[in-house]
């Protein structure tokens, strides 16, 4: 690949990361990569390396069936290539499966490769020795004769950091779109279901430190927050911070902000407060909610008291962090 072609490849890749939605980007990036480096299928993901094989956090299968992953889980402890990919902070391997997995005890791994047409491999990885967290991209060739050359290995070593960075940019762009309507004071982050943080801005880290003083930021969500999210709670209402999330493509897209007075409103009070903020009178709200006007009037007074405001303008401002 010439320098001009390399430059054009990278420019197109980053354009795709900006323009495409989250659910389409990885397939598009792999199709783009295939133009520079032919392959038949791919497995792209993140994991923690362990003695008994990798513990997969996120996975994207390209032209491979879901049952491939289930099959791999049964024999991953035999995968010496995964071990080799985690020996250095950045590694790119290229090999023939029959040659690499040649030991007798690796026969199930060779059979797995035959079943899912994985005759020749490229593996490019970025590994953090401190956390044992690895981001990797595996490309498979089905034809036994289509062996990986040294030039192709070097090309993938040059391209894969851009491919992985483009994925990070695509996820951040998706997060920005999700949070576009929220106030700048709100922080945002991306994590996986294991709690590993892929991206967190200063606002998010500040909110979490206010809630969990012992949390030192960086690699993982506070265990208490992760446990709360795993129980299916869409929002964590803490003493000093509020955290919310949504799950897409196996990732947690999170937002966080300092707790405010409006968080103390009950669900019914919040409905009434929002109607008042829209300009409805207490009588109109009473009709909408089928309640007595006097009851609504008293609730509005209670809401004003909780929020420490005395007029609609103050109410609107007090509700703004919830938007």
* Mean local confidence (pLDDT), 163-184: 82
Q: Is the pLDDT of residue 181 over 70?
A: no
| pLDDT value for 51 | 79
Residues 98 and 167 in one domain: yes
Domains: count for the chain? 3
Residues 234 and 282 in one domain: no
pLDDT tens, residue by residue, 71-109: 999 999 999 998 888 888 899 999 999 999 999 999 999
| Final residue of a structural domain among 148, 175, 202 | 175
Residues 168 and 37 in one domain: yes
Residues 108 and 166 in one domain: yes
Residues 95 and 208 in one domain: no
285: nearest Cα among 295, 277, 294, 275: 275
Torsion of CA 255, 256, 260, 263, to 10 degrees: 50
Provide, rounded to the nearest whole percent, the portion of the chain with pLDDT above 70.
98
3-class secondary structure, 254: strand
**pLDDT band per the 50, 70, 90 thresholds, residue 149:** very high
Q: Is the pLDDT of residue 27 over 80?
A: yes
| Final residue of a structural domain among 155, 175, 195 | 175
**pLDDT band per the 50, 70, 90 thresholds, residue 234:** confident
| pTM summary value | 0.77
Q: Is the pLDDT of residue 158 over 60?
A: yes
* Polymer length of the chain: 323
Least trusted range by pLDDT, from 20-29, 69-78, 227-236: 227-236
Higher pLDDT, 204 or 186: 204
Identify the burial level of 307 via C-beta atoms within 10 angstroms of its C-beta, where 0-12 means exposed, 13-18 middle and 19 or more buried: buried
Residues 161 and 220 in one domain: no
Contact criterion met (CB below 8 Å) for 264 and 309: no
| pLDDT value for 182 | 55
**pLDDT band per the 50, 70, 90 thresholds, residue 322:** confident
| pLDDT value for 233 | 81
Please report, for the domain that includes residue 227, its CATH number.
3.30.450.20
| pLDDT value for 100 | 95
Residues 150 and 214 in one domain: no
Residues 7 and 123 in one domain: yes
Residues 228 and 127 in one domain: no
Q: Which residues of 82-103 are buried (b: 16+ CB within 10 A; e: fewer)?
A: beebbeeeebbbbbbbeebbee
Q: Is the pLDDT of residue 282 over 70?
A: yes
Return mean pLDDT, the chain: 90
Q: Which residue, chain included where needed, has tokens 């892929």?
A: 198
Please report, for the domain that includes residue 61, its CATH number.
3.30.450.80
pLDDT tens, residue by residue, 29-52: 999 999 999 999 999 999 988 877
| Final residue of a structural domain among 159, 175, 191 | 175
**Which domain, by its residues, includes 225?**
183-259
Q: What is the DSSP string of 193-230?
A: TT-BEEEE-HHHHHHHHHH-TT---SSB--HHHHHHHH
Q: Which residues of 230-244 are buried (b: 16+ CB within 10 A; e: fewer)?
A: eeeeeebebeebbbb
Residues 69 and 141 in one domain: yes
| pLDDT value for 216 | 82
**pLDDT band per the 50, 70, 90 thresholds, residue 185:** low
Residues 150 and 218 in one domain: no
Q: Is the pLDDT of residue 112 over 90?
A: yes
Residues 63 and 145 in one domain: yes
Which range, 81-85, 113-117, 180-184, 311-315, is most confident? 113-117
| pLDDT value for 150 | 94
Phi, psi of 139 (to 5 degrees): -115, 135
Q: Is the pLDDT of residue 132 over 70?
A: yes
* Helix, strand, coil percent values for the chain (each to nearest 5): 50, 25, 25
Reading the block at residue 255, the tokens are 């937002």
Please report, for the domain that includes residue 284, its CATH number.
1.10.10.10
């Amino acid at each position: 690949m010439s320098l001009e072609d390399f430059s054009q490849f990278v420019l197109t890749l980053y354009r795709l990361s900006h323009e495409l939605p989250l659910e389409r980007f990885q397939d598009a990036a792999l199709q783009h990569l295939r133009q520079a480096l032919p392959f038949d299928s791919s497995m792209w993901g993140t994991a923690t390396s362990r003695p008994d094989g990798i513990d997969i956090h996120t996975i994207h299968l390209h032209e491979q069936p879901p049952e491939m992953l289930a099959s791999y889980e049964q024999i991953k402890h035999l995968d010496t290539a995964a071990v080799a990919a985690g020996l250095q902070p950045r590694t790119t391997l290229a090999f023939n499966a029959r040659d690499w997995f040649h030991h007798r005890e690796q026969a199930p791994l060779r059979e797995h490769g035959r079943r899912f047409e994985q005759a020749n491999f490229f593996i490019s990885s970025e590994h953090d020795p401190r956390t044992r967290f690895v981001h990797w991209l595996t490309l498979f060739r089905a034809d036994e004769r289509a062996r990986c050359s040294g030039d192709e290995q070097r090309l993938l070593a040059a391209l894969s950091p851009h491919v992985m960075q483009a994925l990070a940019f695509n996820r951040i762009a998706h997060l920005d779109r999700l949070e576009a309507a929220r106030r700048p004071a709100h922080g945002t982050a991306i994590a996986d279901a294991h709690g590993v943080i892929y991206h967190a801005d200063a606002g998010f880290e500040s909110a979490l430190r206010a809630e969990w003083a012992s949390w030192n930021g960086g690699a993982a969500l506070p265990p208490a927050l992760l446990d709360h999210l795993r129980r299916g709670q869409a929002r964590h209402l803490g003493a000093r911070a509020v955290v919310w999330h949504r799950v897409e493509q196996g990732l947690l897209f999170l937002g966080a902000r300092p707790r405010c007075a409006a968080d103390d409103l009950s669900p019914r009070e919040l409905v009434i407060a929002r109607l008042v903020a829209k300009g409805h009178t207490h009588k109109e709200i009473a009709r909408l909610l089928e309640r007595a006007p006097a009851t609504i009037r008293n609730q509005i007074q209670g809401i004003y008291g909780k929020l420490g405001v005395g007029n609609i303008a103050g109410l609107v401002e007090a509700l703004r962090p919830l938007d």
